[in-house]
């Protein structure tokens, strides 16, 4: 593929992904403010932006076999937790921004957890495994099979967890 096309496909993928995430957060806000039709509109357009991003990703040939996708996801988590977030935590600490530093360090801990989940999944790729995941709404911590009384990363109560069956 032409290098320039590859670059713009990547830019479009990043831009659409960012827009989709931002729109979902706007939708949550609209919901809290009880603008339900607006919340719905934001969610619909977020899904539409995701479709744009997905098309670009497929064009970029970043979607491989599930085994390779698990491996790539594992490597990405290790990199994000061990390199990117470490750097962000250091910067935030130096700038004495405790909120940013705490958010980054919680995210780093959660990313370590993601890496572990991928590693386990790679080891048991062919097993049909039934589980329920619980995700902390505050920090994103993922618990496999158990709803914790309290989030081990941020301390949120169990009422703050989403259930993924």
Residue 114 touches Fe ion, criterion: CB under 5 A: yes
Give the CA count within 13 Å in the CB-facing half-sphere of 60: 20
Residue 141 in the binding site for Fe ion (CB under 5 A): yes
Q: How far is the CB of 94 from Fe ion (least distance, A)?
A: 25
Q: How many chain residues are in contact with Fe ion, going by CB under 5 A?
A: 11
- Asked if 74 interacts with Fe ion (CB under 5 A), we say no
Measure CA of the first residue to CA of the last residue in the chain; give whole Å: 40
Q: Does 139 bind Fe ion (CB under 5 A)?
A: yes
Does residue 108 touch Fe ion according to CB under 5 A?
no
- Beta carbon nearer to Fe ion, 15 or 148: 148
Contact pattern from residue 142 through residue 161 relative to Fe ion, giving x for each residue in contact according to CB under 5 A and a dash for the rest: ---------x-xx-x-----
Q: Interacting stretch for Fe ion, rule CB under 5 A, among 13-21, 86-94, 117-125, 137-145?
A: 137-145
46 binds Fe ion (CB under 5 A): no
Handedness of CA 160, 106, 151, 71 (dihedral sign): positive
What's the closest the beta carbon of residue 114 comes to Fe ion, in angstroms? 4
Q: Is 12 in the site for Fe ion (CB under 5 A)?
A: no
How many CB atoms sit inside 10 A of residue 112's CB? 16
Check binding of 103 to Fe ion (CB under 5 A).
no
Output the CA–CA distances (angstroms, integers) from residue 90 to 15, 19, 85, 87, 105, in the order listed: 27, 28, 8, 5, 10
Q: Is 115 in the site for Fe ion (CB under 5 A)?
A: no
Give Cβ neighbours of residue 137 (< 8 Å, ≥ 6 apart).
Answer: 156, 160, 161, 162
Q: At residue 153, what are phi and psi to the nearest 5 degrees?
A: -95, -50
Cα dihedral 60→104→28→50 (10° resolution)? 0
List interacting residues with Fe ion (CB under 5 A).
Answer: 77, 111, 114, 136, 138-139, 141, 151, 153-154, 156
């Amino acid at each position: 593929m032409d290098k320039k096309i590859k670059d713009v496909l990547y830019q479009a993928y990043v831009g659409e992904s960012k827009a989709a995430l931002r729109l979902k957060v706007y939708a949550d806000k609209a919901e809290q403010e009880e603008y339900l039709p607006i919340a719905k509109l934001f969610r619909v357009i977020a899904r539409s932006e995701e479709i744009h991003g997905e098309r670009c990703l497929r064009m970029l040939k970043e979607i491989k076999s599930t085994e390779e996708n698990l491996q790539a996801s594992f490597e990405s988590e290790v990199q994000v937790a061990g390199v990117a977030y470490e750097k962000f935590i250091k910067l935030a600490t130096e700038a004495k921004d405790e909120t940013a530093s705490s958010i980054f360090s919680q995210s780093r801990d959660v990313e370590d957890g993601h890496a572990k989940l991928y590693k386990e999944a790679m080891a048991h790729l062919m097993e049909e495994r039934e589980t329920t995941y619980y995700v902390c709404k505050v920090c994103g911590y993922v618990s496999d099979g158990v709803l914790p009384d309290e989030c081990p990363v941020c301390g949120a109560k169990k009422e703050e967890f989403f259930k993924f069956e």
